[in-house]
Amino acid sequence: MAFDEQLANRIREQLRFFSEDFTEKKMFGGLCFLYKGKMTVGIVKDDLMVRVLSDVIATELAKDAVRPMDFTKRPMKEFVYVSQNGIKTEAELLHYIELGLAHAKSKL
């Protein structure tokens, strides 16, 4: 399954501004970015996939461009998809990267 390489490059560019070290791994038929082995964000086809803490997920799901991650045909806990409309700007993309990083750090 292919993933949006341009979005991958945008994520890589944003990650340069973080002091944390991220790794890349092919997962879910796409590409994921991990912090200390914990998934933060990823790409499945053209969508951004984000791990989100349960206390903020409802706020994110209220946005038009965000929907539950239903990779297995049912919503996965603490995962959302963000369509291209939700990450048009670098600030929007950064927001989701920060959410994913917060989730990863909470699991360490």
Q: Where are the domains of the chain?
A: 5-106
Q: What CATH class does 5-106 carry?
A: alpha beta
What pLDDT was estimated at residue 1? 58
Residue 3 has pLDDT above 70, yes or no: yes
Q: pTM, whole model, 2 decimals?
A: 0.95
Residue 29 has pLDDT above 90, yes or no: no
Cα–Cα distance for residue pair 7/35, rounded to 1 Å: 18
Q: What is the DSSP letter of 74?
A: S
Q: What is the pLDDT of residues 35-93, one digit of tens each?
A: 999 999 999 999 999 999 999 999 999 999 999 998 778 888 999 999 999 999 999 99
Bridge partners for 38 per DSSP: 35
Sheet containing 30-35, strands listed edge to edge, beginning at the edge strand earlier in sequence: 22-27, 30-35, 38-44, 47-51, 79-82, 66-68
Candidates 55, 34, 47, 44; CA nearest to 101 is 34
Residue 2: which pLDDT band, with cuts at 50, 70 and 90?
A: confident
Residue 23: which pLDDT band, with cuts at 50, 70 and 90?
A: very high
Query: What is the phi/psi pair of residue 101, to 5°?
Result: -65, -40
Find the mean pLDDT for residues 15-25. 96
The letter for the amino acid at 42 is G
